[in-house]
């Protein structure tokens, strides 16, 4: 499996990451993988060349981290571990957020659960508008200086949130995020508006969570007679879980039609095609696989060797393209000749749309 640079940092990570939101069973929509199953998934992923495992303190209220720590006993040096902090871990007034108190105590608790002396990539799980970003960055700098954290990143930040953090870090000489973890799929391409051009411009790595849109791109969902999303009994989007939301069902079903056509031509699953398309997008470092079953994981891992043709990539890009929002439609109409490499590389603002896998974002 390809090992890719994580932004402009010196760290290299696998093009696929093993996600663990389903470890522990606290997030039923993601699965109920216990220790033995986690060991098997980690072994399968490692055999395929995966080097990064991603978890969070909030996954099953710490149990996911505990399972990862126990499953990796004796293998710590073979893996990079990413985890996150931000969401509630107790009932107290300081048990959530990105305050110095919660960030440092959260890291120390994660280290205990993970049975390790350092976290390779420590990520802010969500923006906290009540804590000064300088306070959060100072806490992260302390953790890096103490050797407890190697690199830091963010997740689910808007572009202005992230640029504010990067600017404050540079101004105050604090540790800077090297990566962002975002939601970006064939079903939902809003990240092309600002987050991906930002990553190209600032040299950030990009990790993608839920790359199959919560299973929407797995191939098991179809259009019902009433135009609604239909799928097998027990499917995630047919219950109380509605993340990500389906805002444009017609575009989703049109995309699924092309996805199935491409998959049929290769004799593979639609999931593999969706993952291969995503791994070929500009700025994408790694896609995070969170499988309910070992069969799903094996199928997903096989996408690392799937090569899509330029015509197939173009067909998927065209059918899933979203309408341009302001100011991007105005830039396309009036400034497409002077947008610069990050915008031309990563967005649909330019006349030909986003660039292909071989394009440079530098």
Catalytic residue positions, numbered: 59
Q: Is residue 27 within 8 Å of 76, Cβ to Cβ?
A: no
Question: What does the alpha-carbon distance between residue 142 and residue 357 come to, in Å, rounded to a whole number?
Answer: 38
Query: How are beta strands 16-19 and 3-5 bridged, if at all?
Result: unpaired
- Rounded to whole angstroms, the Cα distance separating 7 from 9 reads 5
> What is the separation, in whole angstroms, between the first and last Cα of the chain?
23
C-alpha 25/C-alpha 21 separation (Å) is 8
Q: Cα angle at 281 between 83 and 295, to 5 degrees?
A: 60
- In the chain, beta strands by DSSP E: 3-5, 12-14, 16-19, 52-54, 80-85, 119-124, 149-155, 179-183, 205-209, 222-223, 229-230, 284-289
Q: Distances in Å between the alpha carbon of 165 and those of 43, 134, 168, 179, 184? A: 36, 8, 5, 12, 21
Beta bridge partners of 53: 18, 81
CA 102, chain centre distance (Å):
23
Give the position of tokens 């993988």: 33
CA angle 64, 131, 89 (to 5 degrees): 25
Alpha carbon 347 to its chain centroid, in Å, reads: 18
For residue 255, which of 281, 228, 293, 222 has the smallest C-alpha distance? 222
């Amino acid at each position: 499996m390809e090992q890719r640079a994580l932004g402009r940092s010196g760290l290299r990570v696998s093009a696929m990451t093993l996600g663990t939101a389903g470890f522990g069973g606290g997030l039923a929509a993601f699965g109920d993988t216990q220790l033995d199953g986690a060991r098997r998934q980690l072994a399968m992923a490692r055999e395929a060349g995966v080097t990064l495992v991603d978890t969070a303190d909030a996954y099953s209220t710490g149990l996911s981290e505990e399972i990862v720590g126990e499953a990796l006993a004796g293998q710590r040096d073979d893996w990079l571990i990413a985890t996150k902090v931000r969401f509630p871990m107790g009932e107290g007034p300081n048990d959530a957020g990105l305050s110095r108190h919660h960030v440092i105590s959260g890291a120390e608790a994660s280290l205990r659960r993970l049975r390790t002396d350092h976290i390779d990539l420590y990520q802010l799980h969500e923006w906290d508008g009540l804590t000064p970003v300088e306070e959060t960055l100072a806490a992260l700098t302390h953790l890096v200086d103490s050797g407890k954290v190697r690199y830091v990143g963010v997740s689910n930040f808007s572009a202005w949130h992230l640029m504010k953090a990067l600017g404050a870090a540079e101004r105050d000489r604090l540790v800077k995020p090297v990566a962002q973890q975002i939601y970006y799929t064939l079903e939902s391409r809003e990240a092309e508006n600002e987050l991906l051009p930002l990553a190209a411009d600032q040299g950030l790595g990009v990790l993608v969570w839920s790359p199959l849109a919560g299973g929407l791109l797995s191939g098991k969902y179809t259009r019902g007679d009433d135009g609604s999303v239909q799928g097998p009994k027990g499917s995630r989007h047919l219950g109380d879980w509605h993340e990500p939301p389906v805002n444009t069902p017609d575009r989703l079903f049109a995309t699924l039609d092309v996805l199935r056509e491409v998959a049929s031509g290769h004799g593979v699953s639609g999931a593999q095609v969706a993952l291969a398309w995503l791994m070929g997008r500009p700025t994408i470092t790694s896609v995070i696989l969170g499988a309910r079953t070992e069969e799903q994981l094996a199928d997903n891992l096989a996408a690392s060797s799937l090569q899509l043709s330029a015509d197939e990539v173009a067909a998927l890009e065209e059918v899933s393209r979203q309408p341009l929002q302001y100011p991007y439609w105005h830039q396309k109409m009036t400034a497409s000749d002077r947008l610069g490499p990050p915008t031309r590389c990563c967005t649909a603002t330019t006349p030909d749309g986003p660039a292909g896998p071989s394009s440079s974002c530098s």
